Amino acid sequence: MAQNAPDANRDVPNTNQVVVFSSELLPLQAYPDPRGCQQLPTISHVLYNETSRVVLLHADPYCLTPGIAVQPGYGAHTSQASGSFSIT
């Protein structure tokens, strides 16, 4: 089974933003219409892709390492090994 495989039958929100959850004590961090490389908060926990494009989750803060694809309407856990994201 493919991870993050798109499903044409899902109703996927398209707010054209990437949303990052860090903790219950902090507000969500929204990145409206993100372009280029975006650094993640140091304590980020979950990234949710509300765009119509693929988001790449990178291990370094400068988007230099290969990225893990997060399809539209899907999310991914970030970790201390995740430092940034970019849009394909």
Query: How much is the pTM?
Result: 0.82
CA distance 9 to 60: 34
- DSSP SS3 for 51: coil
Contact between 58 and 83 under an 8 Å Cβ cutoff? The reply is yes
pLDDT digits (tens, 9 = 90+) for 54-66: 999 999 999 999 9
**Token pair of 70, please?**
């997060």
pLDDT of residue 7: 58
For residue 46, what pLDDT band results from cuts at 50, 70 and 90? very high
